[in-house]
Amino acid sequence: MDASEALMILTALAACLVWFKLIVRSLNGPRVWPLLGSLPGLIENSNSTYQTCTAAIPFLARKQGLVTVTCDPKNLEHILKCRFDNYPKGPNWHAVFHDLLGDGIFNSDGDTWLFQHKTAALEFTTRTLRQAMSRWVSRAIKYRFCPILESAQLQGKPVDFQDLLLRLTFDNICGLTFGKDPQTISPGLPENCFASAFDQDTEATLQRLDHMDKYLSEIINTRKLELVSQHQGETPHDDLLSRFMRKKESYSDEFLQHVVLNFILAGRDTSLIGLCWFFWLASQNLRVEEKIVTEIFTVLMETRGADTSKWIDEPLVFEEVDRLIYLKAALSETLRLYPSVPQDSKAYCLEFKPERWLSKDNKNFEPKDSYRFVSFNAGPQICLGKDLAYLQMKSIAAAVLLRHRLTVAAGHRVEQKTSLTLFMKYGLMMEVHPRNLKSVLEKKHAKLRKMGMLEFC
């Protein structure tokens, strides 16, 4: 190479560098390097929390591994809303989950997704679906979850909250989806082959799919007979499967099975993981825990009076749950820091501060811009079960914290297990202590007395 060629190459390189520097100056987010882009930053932060969204690159989605990662709300809006059609899940995703989820709402793009989304979206706005969720949650809390916690408290034995909540949320979502509670949260914590078939660690074996197939075929056939023989005046089934079946008689059994499996997948791990991280964060942040408990007490004092035995007779009803705005803020803050579906989102500021979700006077919950808080996704594919999830998580959180104080069992390590969903690697072993209702009440009274406000309480 002679001197003039070398000079030309150097000039071209220098021009590229200047051009690169100019472009980079206007970019937000992780540092961008020549040729490597933001890859070093991504690798560095792969195990920590960072506000990102991963989407397959348009047209190149067929090539496995080619994804774009962004943390800018404007890009998130572009991907999740404006050019939503350009960023499908893609054939690789579809192939991996096809055996389990078929062409269900979680595993389809285009018209197949749109049709199911529209049908489901209509059902998710009904008051009766909310009432159904409230019923399934309250029953499981009262008759099975609370007795298990009480016996753990009396025996002084730590319990794995991740396992208990997995069972509880599985029972709830089965009730809501096909109207039958498999009661996997029961004394003795029984094995259930339908539930274990969902276990992430279990391989997608033919035997496993066979179990699901048999279980669901029976349910669908029974429901078909019940719908045909239903008499006028009888209360109709209010689960999602029956709602789909009433819409059109000609859905194939295979389609209905996939509807059921997709809803169970949508609503089990997501709520469970949110709750698990919430209980852990609350046990580490006593200031926040006290505010949550005080809020529950204030509401119950108004709705059930000063006799504390009435507070724990029955789980909170919808109107009581609805008033717990600080609890909702604490759950949202948990999902911001530990999003149940981490591939879709991670968080920026690492401080656990529920107050950031409240109005300045702390009286109202203020939702964040959905492209900054993407734990429930955003745009056309936003989570349809968001309100139901809050109802369920608030009911469970309030039931536990009203009765118990939780501490992490000695020597237990809490670590993230990075997979499609953000489980805890070693579960969540918790010691269950009684909550002293009287002492919290006295503290609250003392505070109000100091402020000269007791007469209003």
Provide the annotated binding site for heme. 383
Cβ of residue 150: shortest distance to ligand HEM, in angstroms? 26
Sorted by sequence, the CB contacts under 8 Å of residue 65 that are 6+ apart come out as: none
Phi-psi domain of 377 (left: phi exceeds 0; alpha: psi -120 through 50; beta: other): left
Pick the closer one to ligand HEM by CB: 276 or 432.
Answer: 276
Q: Which is nearer to ligand HEM, 266 or 432 (CB)?
A: 266
User: Which one, of 422, 416, 341, lies nearest residue 374 by Cα?
Assistant: 341
DSSP state letter for 429: E
Tell me how crowded residue 425 is: count the other CB atoms within 10 A of its CB.
12
For residue 159, what are its two tokens?
A: 């319990």
DSSP code for 380: G
Q: Which amino acid is at 169?
A: T
- Nearer to ligand HEM by Cβ, of 141 and 300: the residue is 141
Closest CA to 338 of 390, 281, 294: 281
Query: Residue 394 and residue 368: Cα distance in Å, rounded?
Result: 19
**What is the closest distance, in whole angstroms, from the C-beta atom of residue 332 to ligand HEM in the complex?**
10
Q: Containing H/E element for 220?
A: helix 206-229
Q: How far is the CB of 377 from ligand HEM (least distance, A)?
A: 4
Alpha carbon of 285 to those of 91, 268, 351, 354: distances in Å?
43, 26, 11, 11
Cα separation of 13 and 107, whole Å? Answer: 45
Reading the block at residue 405, the tokens are 């104080």
Q: How many CB atoms lie within 10 A of CB 104?
A: 23
Of the pair 389, 408, the CB lying nearest ligand HEM is at 389
**Taking the complex as a whole, how short is the minimal distance between the CB of residue 272 and ligand HEM, in angstroms?**
8
CB of 329 to ligand HEM, least distance (A): 14
Is the Cβ of residue 297 or residue 338 nearer to ligand HEM in the bound state? 338
Tokens of residue 7, six digits = 């000079």
Residue among 117 and 180 whose Cβ is closer to ligand HEM: 117
| Spatial distance between the Cα atoms of 31 and 78, rounded to a whole number of angstroms | 21
Binding-site residues: 383
Distance CA 246, CA 238 (A): 11
Residue 407: φ, ψ to 5° = -130, 145
CB of 205 to ligand HEM, least distance (A): 25
Burial string for 139-178 (b: 16+ CB within 10 Å, else e) reads: bbbeebbbebbeebbeeeebbbbbbbbbbbbbbbbbbbbb
- State which residue, 208 or 328, has the beta carbon closest to ligand HEM: 328
Question: What CA–CA distance (Å, rounded) separates 427 from 142?
Answer: 24
> Taking the complex as a whole, how short is the minimal distance between the CB of residue 51 and ligand HEM, in angstroms?
14
- Toward ligand HEM, which CB reaches closer, 53 or 401? 53
Structure-token pair, residue 352:
């656990």
Least CB distance from residue 181 to ligand HEM, whole Å? 15
Question: Which residue ranges make up the site for ligand HEM (CB under 6 A)?
Answer: 105-106, 117, 120, 176, 263, 266-267, 270-271, 274, 335, 340-341, 344, 375-377, 381, 383-385, 388-389
CA atoms 310, 314, 320, 326: torsion sign: positive
Q: Which is nearer to ligand HEM, 153 or 271 (CB)?
A: 271
The answer for residues whose C-beta is within 8 angstroms of residue 420's C-beta and 6 or more apart is 200, 341, 343
Residue 456 CB, shortest distance to ligand HEM, in Å, is 35
Cα–Cα distance, 400 to 409 (Å, whole number): 17
Among 150, 204, 199, 146, residue whose Cα is nearest residue 170: 199
Residue nearest to ligand HEM (CB): 385
Token reading at 322: 């609805």
Between residues 297 and 352, which has the closer beta carbon with respect to ligand HEM? 352
